[in-house]
């Protein structure tokens, strides 16, 4: 093997593959985030109040953004070489260190988390700089990212030497600057694509990666349910009913997401993909909070659910449904069947989201079973409407064919 074979430069942006399969390396990379999500949801479940939830969500934003950077880099510039595998391995080590340091960070000791994330930030800065080194024409596209990520790196480094009261503002400023990168690059990116007679479109593989990350967050809810119920000694008929409702709700959430996004493409344009990235941050945050709430419910079946906890549950689900409405607007509806399906599901997602908000306003102390049954019945509405709409078109197509 010569050097060119095993240590090739990153793939040029012009050579990105619109039609490709997700590699096993990408799947392996995603798995390390399971540990991070588990640490976040466990902390929320154990400290169920607004301040702890907001702080945990802030750390989740850092974790999600590191995943976005790794995912987009592999999509645009990754290739099957030792170089790519080496840097993915380094990123996985750093993400693993984030998972290890997350519990201490959630208790206020953020130095380990900061150092771990500085490594992740430094790796992505190096990788983006290396793309521009091998391909000088790419510096105009990667420039805003290098500038913003470099500034965020400096802020995080400064936070290591600041008093605890100054760390949170620096964290917030760092993540905002990180997220400004795609916004600042959008105009020049669109001009560059237009000069080539092209428009950016997210590949089906890239869209599928978001589905896989959603599965990771949703799987944490399933794990919480199963592990929680396995520790319950008295498994009465009521307990088994609550268990079935919990799993059924997780299945409905899966259906709502994947029925809408499975094998679908986004509308053409860089802004649609950026909306897709940011709305997933909201959606996954809400899904993670809901999973933590489920974990908090386990083992407290004989006592009423507090108004505060029930409100967190229904509001997180309302945010999830509202996010799905936005995602539905980003899906390319090139055929009538898809258009009708999206129109019906989006409408009912919004109606159910408003009903959940109403439940949160007028809710009182209720049993775990009553709360979960209410949530199950409401979430089932858009799922059933979507299935009926889809089957109606399938039957019509078969009749037209006959």
In three-state secondary structure terms, 1 is: coil
Question: Which position has the token pair 């908090």?
Answer: 296
CB 64 within 8 A of CB 36: no
pLDDT score, position 205: 80
Q: 308-332 burial, b if ≥16 CB within 10 A, otherwise e? A: ebbbbbbbbbbbbbbbbbbbbebbe
How confident is the model over 315-322, as a mean pLDDT? 95
Give the phi and the psi of residue 269 in degrees, each rounded to 5: 140, 140
Q: 363-373 burial, b if ≥16 CB within 10 A, otherwise e? A: beebebeebbb
Task: Name the token pair of 201.
Answer: 């479109």
How far lies 231's CA from each of 210, 228, 234, in Å? Answer: 32, 6, 9
Model confidence at 2, pLDDT cuts 50, 70, 90, reads: very low
CB 260 within 8 A of CB 328: yes
**Cβ neighbours of residue 245 under 8 Å, at least 6 residues apart?**
369, 372, 373, 376
> Residue 320: pLDDT above 60?
yes
Q: Residue 368 CA to chain centroid, in angstroms?
A: 27
> Residue 388: pLDDT above 70?
yes
How far lies 10's CA from each of 80, 128, 316, in Å? Answer: 10, 9, 40
> Residue 203: pLDDT above 80?
no
Stretch (H or E) spanning 70 = helix 50-77
CB 45 within 8 A of CB 296: yes
- Percentage of residues in the chain having pLDDT higher than 90: 28
Q: What angle do CA 54, 56, 100 make, to 5 degrees?
A: 165
Give the count of beta carbons closer than 10 Å to the beta carbon of residue 362.
7
pLDDT score, position 284: 93
Q: Residue 258 CA to chain centroid, in angstroms?
A: 13
Tens digits of per-residue pLDDT, 344-375?
999 999 999 999 999 888 877 788 888 899 99
Torsion sign over Cα 340, 204, 64, 27: positive
184 closest CA partner among 240, 141, 126, 243: 141
pLDDT score, position 240: 84
Give the count of beta carbons closer than 10 Å to the beta carbon of residue 303.
10
pLDDT score, position 1: 45
Task: Name the token pair of 261.
Answer: 């996004």
216 closest CA partner among 34, 56, 39, 61: 34
Model confidence at 177, pLDDT cuts 50, 70, 90, reads: very high
CB 337 within 8 A of CB 390: yes
How confident is the model over 311-315, as a mean pLDDT? 91
> Residue 186: pLDDT above 70?
yes
> Residue 49: pLDDT above 80?
no
- Percentage of residues in the chain having pLDDT higher than 70: 92
Tens digits of per-residue pLDDT, 292-306?
888 877 766 777 888
CB 318 within 8 A of CB 297: no
- Partners of 331 in the β-ladder: 266
Please state, in angstroms and rounded to a whole number, the distance separating the CA atoms of residues 124 and 319.
Answer: 31
pLDDT score, position 5: 56
Q: What angle do CA 117, 214, 147 make, to 5 degrees?
A: 35
290 closest CA partner among 37, 41, 34: 41
295 closest CA partner among 320, 280, 312, 281: 312
How confident is the model over 187-207, as a mean pLDDT? 76
User: What is this structure's pTM?
Assistant: 0.88
């Amino acid at each position: 093997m010569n050097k060119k074979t095993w240590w090739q430069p990153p793939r040029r942006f012009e050579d990105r593959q619109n039609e490709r399969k997700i590699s096993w390396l990408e799947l392996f990379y995603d798995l390390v985030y399971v540990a991070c999500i588990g640490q976040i949801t466990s902390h929320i479940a154990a400290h169920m109040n607004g301040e702890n939830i907001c702080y945990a969500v802030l750390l989740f934003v850092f974790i999600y953004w590191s995943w976005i950077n790794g995912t987009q880099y592999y999509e645009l510039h990754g290739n099957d070489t030792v170089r790519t595998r080496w840097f993915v391995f380094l990123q996985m080590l750093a993400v693993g260190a984030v998972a290890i340091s997350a519990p201490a960070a959630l208790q206020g000791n953020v130095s380990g988390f900061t150092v771990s994330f500085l490594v992740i930030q430094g790796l992505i800065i190096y990788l983006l700089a290396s793309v521009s080194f091998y391909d000088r024409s790419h510096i105009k596209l990667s420039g805003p990212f290098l500038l913003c990520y470099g500034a965020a790196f400096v802020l995080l480094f400064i936070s290591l030497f600041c008093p605890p009261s100054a760390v949170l503002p620096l964290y917030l400023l760092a993540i905002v600057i990180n997220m400004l990168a795609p916004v600042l690059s959008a105009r020049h990116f669109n001009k560059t694509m237009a000069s080539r007679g092209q428009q950016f479109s997210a590949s089906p593989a890239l869209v599928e990666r978001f589905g896989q990350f959603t599965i990771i967050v949703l799987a944490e809810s399933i794990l919480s349910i199963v592990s929680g119920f396995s520790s319950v000694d008295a498994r009465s008929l009521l307990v088994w009913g609550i268990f079935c409702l919990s799993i059924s709700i997780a299945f409905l959430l899966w259906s709502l997401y994947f029925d809408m996004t499975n094998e679908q493409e986004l509308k053409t344009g860089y802004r649609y993909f950026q909306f897709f990235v940011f709305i997933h941050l909201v959606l996954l945050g809400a899904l993670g909070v809901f999973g933590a709430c489920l974990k908090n419910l386990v083992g407290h079946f004989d006592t009423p659910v507090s108004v505060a906890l029930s409100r967190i549950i229904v509001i997180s689900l309302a945010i999830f449904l509202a996010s799905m409405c936005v995602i539905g607007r980003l899906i390319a509806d090139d055929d009538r069947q898809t258009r009708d399906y999206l129109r019906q599901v989006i409408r009912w997602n919004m109606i159910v989201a408003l009903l959940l908000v109403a439940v949160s306003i007028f809710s009182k102390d209720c049993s775990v079973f009553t709360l979960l049954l209410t949530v199950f019945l409401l979430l089932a509405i858009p799922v059933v409407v979507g299935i009926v709409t889809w089957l109606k078109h399938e039957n019509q197509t078969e009749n037209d064919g006959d």
